Structure 1
Amino acid sequence: MADTLSTERVDQHGNGRRRQGVDKVVFGVAAGLALVFLLYGSLDSEGFGETGGTALSWITTNFGWFFVLTSGAFLLFSVFLAATRYGNIKLGADDSVPEFSTFSWVSMMFATGMGIGLMFYGVAEPLTHLNTPPMGMAEPGSEEAAHLAMEYTFFHWGFHPWSMYAVIGLAIAYFAYRKGNGNLISAAFRPLLGDRVDGPAGRGIDILAILATLFGSATSLGLGALQITGGLANVFDNEGYGTTAAALVIAVLTLCFVISAVSGVDKGIKWLSNANAIAAGLLVFFLFVVGPTVFILSTFTESIGGYLTHLPTMSFRTGVFGGSEWLNGWTIFYWAWWVSWTPFVGMFIARISKGRTIRQFVVFVIAVPSLVSFVWFSILGGAAFDLQLNEGKDMAALVESGLESTLFDTLRSFPLSSVTVVLAVFLIAIFFITGADSASIVMGMLSENGAEEPKRGLVVFWGVATGAVATVLLFADGLSALQTGVIIIGFPFLIVLIGLCVSLWKSLREETFESTLRDPLRKVVVATKHGDGTRSGS
């Protein structure tokens, strides 16, 4: 029955009539715009930086409130779906089963969604907030500043970003695997746009998704390259390497993730994600054991309580009464960064989540990675806090010398640092390769009408383009240019996310909820009602 229903849905919604092969319009326009950007950034880096700065200032000044409001709405929408009867709906036919084990599933979504950022900001963000408290709300280096630092770090890496991934992943998986609309972001708009999703409107959405993915992954590649050069300088006791060295690192990483991407999800990405999870677990566990264990546990406990207590206030603070500059540089940047990542993270999570229920999806996509992030920052950030607050080490000076080296300088303060620093550099590289090859595959899928296994040439093209964009941004203005680019491209895609939520809600309300009869508890109730143990409501 389920297979027949699935086939009918495919036919009903026109998936069988979808174009096959490369969509020359989507690929051509997206590639052309990327080329224009590369040429502009390469030939006139100064003008490029000024234009980007002007656009960034306009967006953050006039629409910072929009990022704040919508990010909170995504979280509330996700929780609502999981907590109500809609949570029983499967992302696929009613008898479909998950393709990957829970461990591999969580490992892949976590490594793809945040891995490289956690390595870069694991020590850097808590330390920065400790010594430059958010919006000047505490005395630098004080106990109150420490509380604020961890609470805002949890805020930036917790429920809100993962809820953004959840809403887009849910929409794509639901319409692709349950409704048979096709594995494209534009396909999820069929309830709103009808057959227009197969025309210019749908193609425009997919083009925007490609560009958002390109800039989001390029920003991560740039951050990863900066941190790897910082790690290499630490390993070889060098004062530091310049932008040229970072560009060389980008070239090497690009080659690695392209090779991984063309090997497919079942091989390269799955293996790398599992290796990531194990290696990262070993690193933080070692630091937890040899570091200030009790201090770390206390930091985690207090920070969780503070985060949950102040979550409503933090969620809707716009800085209108002061602190807008800090919010623009941190919170708005993060929200835009996560938004720019949603196309490829959402499509990738959807790709590996077929057979899960909406409730399983929301819980595992939002709660589990958030909890892991909290533990991560409590261990890395807590160890750095202890060095400054209790051991008297000048960690503020490390922050001022460069965010990319704070992790390694912290590891140097504990035993076996020569091993842990090398492991950290390895993790940064692998985390990025995992995320970037996922992005390359997704851009290939978007260019090829949602094909789950896009042509290798497309994957290679977008992988190389990602490396090229990251290099241009680094040479333009380093970290500032990376942040500017991601906010500018994240803003228009925020509108797409809102549309996805509306489309998903419209379609979910039309569900008959026959699938709830397949719930084991429901079977018993129905069978008892009919007095026949063989009747289960099917």
Structure 2
Amino acid sequence: MEKAKITKVFYISMVLVLITVLLGAIWPAHFEEITGNINDFIAKEFGWYYVMISTFMVIFCVFLIFSPIGKLKLGKPSDKPEFNLISWFAMLFSAGMGIGLVFYGASEPLSHFLTPPTAESGTNQAFRDSLRSTFFHWGFHAWAIYGVVALGLAYFQFRKGEPGLISRTLRPIFGKHVEGVLGTIIDVLAVFATVVGVAVSLGMGAQQINGGLHYLFNVPNTFLVKVIIVIIVTVLFLMSAWSGLSKGIQYLSNLNIFFAALLLFGVLFVGPTILIMNMFSTSIGNLLQNFIYMSFDAAPLNETKREWMSSWTIYYWGWWMSWSPFVGIFIARVSKGRTIREFLLGVLLVPSILSFFWFSVFGTTAIEVVKKVPAIGKMTLETQLFGIFHEMPLGIGLSILALLLICTFFITSADSATFVLGMQSTHGSLNPPNTVKVIWGISQSLIALVLIYAGGLNALQSAAIIVAFPFSFVLLGMMYSLYKDANKERLHLGLTLKPDKRFRKKE
């Protein structure tokens, strides 16, 4: 019975995943070289495109918030949200950022402080710019990309009765062709982007867990240890995935928020508290003041800055796009019953502000510690956080808590991804078979290990940007399709910006 639900999207995607795994395992050096060359080409020739499309998605989301379209509900008039606000925020935040927050929380602001794109290294200007750049990378653009995918899926699935497939969000453009070969291609692309995007995150998690264990307990920092870590975590997240969305994933997401809050406030209170709060406020103002320029800047006349943008900004825009099918599908699944306006305000503002505070706490603390202990700035990315904690009060406790948080984020991200991949390869089923989820869970872990084996973070980053490029055209189609259909319905209901009693009755 379960097997009958599996579509050809599953088999085609699985073949692509196996080919990727074999290429990376048999020819790791060539795999890293090829992905690196493709990545360099895309970043150099199409960096402007990544900048423009990401910014356009922010504009699109803001437009919908203030548009009468924002009154439309993601579901039937009687539908109520399945999860309360706290659980909703916890699940979308855990799925959307996860391991990356812990991995880059201290290391990214520190990197921008030590090697800034324009300012002089180690200066107060570099300090200010480091947090502004980090806020920019992890803020409104990231969540607008997620929001576009999630909104399109939730709208067409819960309001129009379509299966929860990326391809079906394009029906207003392609009509019945989304049920044929074209739809299969789109869904395969979404599945493959999800697998690679999540594998990037899992690879980083495995490396940081190993880095932390090596720094704290002198556990060897080797590929074999990473394999063992991935195997253990894979078993744990498959157990959670087997238990279902409302049990395992919701409980783990709430546990993530608890651990994250404990670590966040622990660092806040033992770190330079007043400076952190001052930098948090100032950096938000700095971002808003420069937001429009930064959103469109492609650094055409500054070679140094353009190379920096390729390594950071363009990489992030690619990473968010490659993650967007996974995060978008998952957020859509847990957002039924909310209005478009409520949905977008929640998705854009709350996670962004939480991310800003997170990076203020960890980034400011890291920079202040490195000013006193410069050697930490030369440590690898996966061990820097533990080196910083070593110089702080309660350092061992903070390090152990960070390791626990990485593990729970690791499990939640992979857990959510197995659910999403199961949906996409079983015709949008809201309850995909456990056998399919297990197969996808193992596949994700294999790709993560292959990418680590093939070249660590370099191969991981290259893979994310490469997969994002073709999927970006699907994102453009989703925006047009959503606006076309939602505006048609808005006109049919006679919605305006003013409160409309007729609307409430009809809705």
TM-score range, shorter chain: over 0.9
**CA pair 457-516 structure 1, distance change in 2 beyond 3 A:** farther
Alignment correspondent of 2:268: 288
**CA pair 197-242 structure 1, distance change in 2 beyond 3 A:** same
Moved more, 457-466 or 256-265: 256-265
1:234, distance to aligned residue in structure 2 (A): 2.3
1:208 equivalent to 2:189? Answer yes
Alignment correspondent of 1:402: 380
1:324, distance to aligned residue in structure 2 (A): 1.6
1:513, distance to aligned residue in structure 2 (A): 6.2
Q: 1:151 aligns with which of 132, 140, 161?
A: 132
Code of the residue aligned with 2:434 in structure 1: it is R
Alignment correspondent of 2:142: 161
Q: Distance between the aligned counterparts of 2:218 and 2:13, measured in 1?
A: 42
Alignment correspondent of 1:316: 296
Code of the residue aligned with 1:280 in structure 2: it is A
1:189-214 Cα deviation digits (max 9, x unpaired): 11011111110000101000010000
Alignment correspondent of 2:458: 480
Alignment correspondent of 2:368: 386
Q: Distance between the aligned counterparts of 1:241 and 1:421, measured in 2?
A: 17
Code of the residue aligned with 2:231 in structure 1: it is A
1:441 equivalent to 2:419? Answer yes
Alignment correspondent of 1:100: 83
> Which one has the largest radius of gyration?
1
* Alignment of structure 1 residues 117-516 onto 2, 5 Å: 117-133=100-116, 135=117, 137-237=118-218, 241-322=221-302, 323-389=305-371, 392-394=372-374, 397-512=375-490
Q: Distance between the aligned counterparts of 2:4 and 2:50, measured in 1?
A: 36
**CA pair 356-21 structure 1, distance change in 2 beyond 3 A:** farther
1:514, distance to aligned residue in structure 2 (A): 7.4
User: What percentage of residue pairs aligned between the two structures are identical?
Assistant: 43
**CA pair 372-93 structure 1, distance change in 2 beyond 3 A:** same
1:536, distance to aligned residue in structure 2 (A): 5.9
Moved more, 358-367 or 505-514: 505-514
Q: Distance between the aligned counterparts of 2:170 and 2:492, measured in 1?
A: 24
Code of the residue aligned with 1:437 in structure 2: it is D
Q: Distance between the aligned counterparts of 1:209 and 1:314, measured in 2?
A: 29
Moved more, 242-251 or 330-339: 242-251
- Name structure 2 gaps, 5 residues minimum: none
1:57, distance to aligned residue in structure 2 (A): 1.8
1:136-175 Cα deviation digits (max 9, x unpaired): x111100010011000000000000000000010000000
* Alignment of structure 1 residues 106-117 onto 2, 5 Å: 106-117=89-100
1:96, distance to aligned residue in structure 2 (A): 1.0
Q: Distance between the aligned counterparts of 1:209 and 1:399, measured in 2?
A: 37
Code of the residue aligned with 1:298 in structure 2: it is N
Moved more, 308-317 or 212-221: 308-317
Q: Distance between the aligned counterparts of 2:285 and 2:26, measured in 1?
A: 51
TM-score, normalised relative to structure 1: 0.90
Alignment correspondent of 1:35: 18
Conserved? CA contact 2:139–2:355, under 8 Å: yes
Moved more, 471-480 or 511-520: 511-520
1:497-517 Cα deviation digits (max 9, x unpaired): 111001001101111467788
Q: Distance between the aligned counterparts of 1:536 and 1:481, measured in 2?
A: 54
Code of the residue aligned with 1:164 in structure 2: it is I
Q: Distance between the aligned counterparts of 1:269 and 1:258, measured in 2?
A: 11
Select the structure with the greater relative contact order (CA < 8 A; seq sep ≥ 6).
2
**Residues matched between the structures, number:** 504
Q: Distance between the aligned counterparts of 1:403 and 1:22, measured in 2?
A: 43
Q: Distance between the aligned counterparts of 1:317 and 1:98, measured in 2?
A: 39
Q: Distance between the aligned counterparts of 1:116 and 1:196, measured in 2?
A: 38
Q: Distance between the aligned counterparts of 2:465 and 2:242, measured in 1?
A: 29
1:412, distance to aligned residue in structure 2 (A): 2.0
1:344-390 Cα deviation digits (max 9, x unpaired): 1000000000000001111110110000000000111111122234x
**CA pair 96-536 structure 1, distance change in 2 beyond 3 A:** closer
Moved more, 484-493 or 163-172: 484-493
Code of the residue aligned with 2:251 in structure 1: it is W
**CA pair 82-21 structure 1, distance change in 2 beyond 3 A:** farther
Q: Distance between the aligned counterparts of 2:79 and 2:497, measured in 1?
A: 13
Secondary structure of 1:510's aligned partner: helix
Q: Distance between the aligned counterparts of 1:197 and 1:156, measured in 2?
A: 33
Q: Distance between the aligned counterparts of 1:505 and 1:91, measured in 2?
A: 14
Secondary structure of 2:312's aligned partner: helix
Secondary structure of 1:511's aligned partner: helix
Code of the residue aligned with 2:97 in structure 1: it is M
Conserved? CA contact 2:68–2:497, under 8 Å: no
- Name structure 1 gaps, 5 residues minimum: 1-18, 528-534
Conserved? CA contact 2:32–2:458, under 8 Å: no
1:323-358 Cα deviation digits (max 9, x unpaired): 221111111111111001000100000000000000
Moved more, 290-299 or 99-108: 290-299
Q: Say what the alpha-carbon RMSD is for the aligned residues.
A: 2.0
1:118, distance to aligned residue in structure 2 (A): 0.2
1:319, distance to aligned residue in structure 2 (A): 2.3
Q: Distance between the aligned counterparts of 2:178 and 2:3, measured in 1?
A: 15
Conserved? CA contact 1:89–1:513, under 8 Å: no
Code of the residue aligned with 1:101 in structure 2: it is N
Conserved? CA contact 1:78–1:163, under 8 Å: yes
Q: Distance between the aligned counterparts of 1:34 and 1:284, measured in 2?
A: 37
1:75, distance to aligned residue in structure 2 (A): 0.2
Code of the residue aligned with 1:351 in structure 2: it is R
**CA pair 184-537 structure 1, distance change in 2 beyond 3 A:** closer
Secondary structure of 2:442's aligned partner: helix
Secondary structure of 2:383's aligned partner: helix
Alignment correspondent of 2:30: 47
Conserved? CA contact 1:20–1:448, under 8 Å: no
**CA pair 160-77 structure 1, distance change in 2 beyond 3 A:** same
Alignment correspondent of 1:531: none
1:418, distance to aligned residue in structure 2 (A): 1.7
Q: Distance between the aligned counterparts of 1:472 and 1:441, measured in 2?
A: 22
1:91-147 Cα deviation digits (max 9, x unpaired): 0012211000000000000000001100000000000000000x2x11110001001
Q: Distance between the aligned counterparts of 1:493 and 1:187, measured in 2?
A: 15
